[in-house]
Amino acid sequence: MPDIEPIAKSEELFLNLLPSMANRHGLITGATGTGKTVTLQKMIEVFSTIGVPCVVSDIKGDLSGVAKVGGSNAKVTERFVQLGIDEAYASLPVTFWDVWGKKGHPIRTTISDMGPLLLSRLLGLNETQSGVLTLIFKVADDEGLALLDLKDLRAMVHDVGSRAKELSLRYGNVSTASIGAIQRGLLTLESQGGDELFGEPMLNMEDLIQNIDGKGVVNLLDATKLMNNPKLYASLLLWMLSELFETLPEAGDKKVPKLLFFFDEAHLLFKDAPDVLIEKIEHVVRLIRSKGVGVYFITQHPSDIPSSVAAQLGNRVAHALRAFTPKDQQALRSAAQTMRDNSALNEESALMELGVGEALISFLDEKGIPSITQRAWVIPPFSSLGPIDEGMRQNLMAQSIVGTTYDTRIDAESAYERLTQRLEAQTPLRKETQSASRGRETPIEALTKSVARAVGSQIGRALIRGVLGTLFKK
């Protein structure tokens, strides 16, 4: 190997993200090809090594390399020599997840647990249509009807539509047009394979917070196919974040986080999101750190993150940005202003000059104050760069810490079955009385509805929805 001039010459030149400040959240930015993914992998590696589990969306499949020992990449070896760092190649424990169950264990939630707010965005509903969907959830909650999968919700939408006049007296107007829009949204979602996300067994958040031999397990969500439906991707990740927020107990100040959550392509979480949703996301991000959870957003530009959310992100790593147009140049100046100023460094110029794997870095100090921005090289990972082969992935899945818990779908009795039984029970009676009653309610039907409402109201009092509309677990 030819002589390589060292870059780092003393320990004082190394910048460290303090574990005790990792739950104050963070942001990794930079143009395509500047090193964001490698930085992300290094951060995962460091925290897993000290026992912190991580949840990571794997957009391109590259991050699966954390499960394999590094050492076969000449450029990585060269960078270690430049930085004066001894190579200590290692792998990390990994659990693979995949909505479709091909590249990881199936990951599911239920319709009831996701709630109307996130589901409205997933279905592309406007404010009025979202209001009707919220009404449908309320009726289901009150009548004790579990919404587990898409067929449950379709049945519930049909039921509410057929009882629109009756329900409007108690819940407000049920627009026929809104019912139609919800039904169309459900058909579209199903045609895109979104029905695979909903059902049981639902993901238990505790299965994401595990350690093996002192290392935090890295939970990799394969998003290579999921990215074909950005709203499905965003809804799933926001549900997971909300579920963690609603289920985890208060942790107080900890020396290390309980869990780190990394959102790649983070701009998708906020694209076309209504203000009410962004406000609630900001609320969750602000408060979830008290549960010991750190949230990290990875995206091309700081402006991809709403300012109310960005204000909560204390740790910053900014890779190179491009400025080819006046609009780009204005955005570049704005990005430079998000870092704490270093009088000896022109942040704006530096952002255009950074090499691959080089970044402007500002981490929180022990008092929670952003450090002065420094220009630095990111230490490469000790695990392998690039994806592992399919054979290795399947072997690791077979040895997974969660076993076969999620591999077989369960179809329990829920709203679809209950509503079907209700309809079948009513059909003979309707045939006998249709000509005489002209739609008037029989005494038996009235009693049935009265009992259902009484039981439902009892169940409804036990159902509480959290900040993002997901079910709150007591």
Q: What is the pLDDT of residues 341-356, one digit of tens each?
A: 999 999 999 999 999 9
Give residues with Cβ within 8 angstroms of 72, minimum separation 6.
384
- pLDDT given at position 427: 67
Mean pLDDT of 415-433: 75
- pLDDT given at position 196: 94
Confidence label for 58 from pLDDT (cuts 50, 70 and 90):
very high
The rounded mean pLDDT for the chain is: 88
- pLDDT given at position 13: 62
Q: In angstroms, what CA-CA distances link 213 with 49, 95, 217?
A: 10, 14, 10
User: Which of 93-102, 110-119, 409-418, 448-457 shows the lowest per-residue confidence on average (mean pLDDT)?
Assistant: 448-457
Would the pLDDT of 439 be above 60? no
Would the pLDDT of 466 be above 90? no
At 170, phi and psi to the nearest 5? -105, -30
Would the pLDDT of 447 be above 70? no
C-alpha 13/C-alpha 28 separation (Å) is 20
- pLDDT given at position 232: 94
- pLDDT given at position 207: 97
- pLDDT given at position 325: 87
- pLDDT given at position 151: 95
- pLDDT given at position 463: 63
Please choose, from the candidates 217, 255, 213, the residue with its C-alpha nearest in 3D space to the C-alpha of residue 53.
217
* CATH numbers and ranges of domains, the chain: 28-107+205-398 (3.40.50.300), 111-198+430-462 (no CATH)
- pLDDT given at position 344: 93
Task: Summarize pLDDT for 199-234 with one digit per residue, the tens.
Answer: 999 999 999 999 999 999 999 999 999 999 999 999
Mean pLDDT of 319-338: 88
Evaluate whether 24 touches 372 at the Cβ level (below 8 Å): no
- pLDDT given at position 412: 87
How many Å is the Cα radius of gyration of the chain? 26
Q: In angstroms, what CA-CA distances link 355 with 328, 369, 374, 378?
A: 19, 27, 14, 11
Q: Which residue has the higher pLDDT, 437 or 201?
A: 201
144 exposed, middle or buried (CB, 10 Å; 0-12, 13-18, 19+)?
A: middle
At 176, phi and psi to the nearest 5? -60, -40
C-alpha 460/C-alpha 186 separation (Å) is 25
Give residues with Cβ within 8 angstroms of 333, minimum separation 6.
348
Evaluate whether 470 touches 464 at the Cβ level (below 8 Å): no
Evaluate whether 429 touches 439 at the Cβ level (below 8 Å): no
Token pair for residue 326? 């006046």
% of residues, the chain, pLDDT over 70: 89
Q: In angstroms, what CA-CA distances link 296 with 23, 43, 56, 228, 471?
A: 9, 10, 10, 22, 24
Q: Give the torsion sign (CA, 460, 465, 471, 474).
A: negative
The DSSP secondary-structure symbol of 465 reads: B
Would the pLDDT of 32 be above 70? yes
What is the 3-state composition of the chain as percent helix, strand, coil, each rounded to the nearest 5? 50, 10, 40
Mean pLDDT of 89-101: 97
Would the pLDDT of 248 be above 60? yes
Q: In angstroms, what CA-CA distances link 221 with 45, 59, 247?
A: 16, 8, 20
Would the pLDDT of 272 be above 50? yes
Confidence label for 46 from pLDDT (cuts 50, 70 and 90):
very high
- pLDDT given at position 444: 40
Partnered with residue 364 across adjacent β-strands are: 370
Please write down the HEC assignment for all residues of 270-309: HCCCCHHHHHHHHHHHHHHHHHCEEEEEECCCHHHCCHHH
- pLDDT given at position 23: 95
Mean pLDDT of 290-318: 95
Please choose, from the candidates 376, 407, 449, the residue with its C-alpha nearest in 3D space to the C-alpha of residue 83.
376
Would the pLDDT of 434 be above 80? no
313 exposed, middle or buried (CB, 10 Å; 0-12, 13-18, 19+)?
A: buried
**Strand boundaries in 110-205, DSSP class E:** none
Q: Tokens 């009892």 — which residue?
A: 458
DSSP per position, 354-386: PPTTEEEEE-B-TTSPBPPPEEEEPPPPSB-SS
Residue type, 203: L
Q: In angstroms, what CA-CA distances link 403 with 266, 349, 363, 389, 398?
A: 30, 51, 38, 21, 7
Q: Which residue has the higher pLDDT, 13 or 185?
A: 185
State the Cα torsion 154-157-162-165 to the nearest 10°.
180
The DSSP secondary-structure symbol of 317 reads: E
Q: Tokens 């995206």 — which residue?
A: 299
Would the pLDDT of 455 be above 90? no
C-alpha 389/C-alpha 20 separation (Å) is 36
Mean pLDDT of 56-73: 94
Would the pLDDT of 252 be above 50? yes
- pLDDT given at position 376: 94
Packing angle between helix 127-142 and helix 164-171, nearest 10 degrees? Answer: 90
Confidence label for 20 from pLDDT (cuts 50, 70 and 90):
very high
Q: Which residue has the higher pLDDT, 384 or 87?
A: 384
Please choose, from the candidates 143, 139, 142, 141, the residue with its C-alpha nearest in 3D space to the C-alpha of residue 110.
141
Please write down the HEC assignment for all residues of 222-250: ECCCHHHCHHHHHHHHHHHHHHHHHHCCC
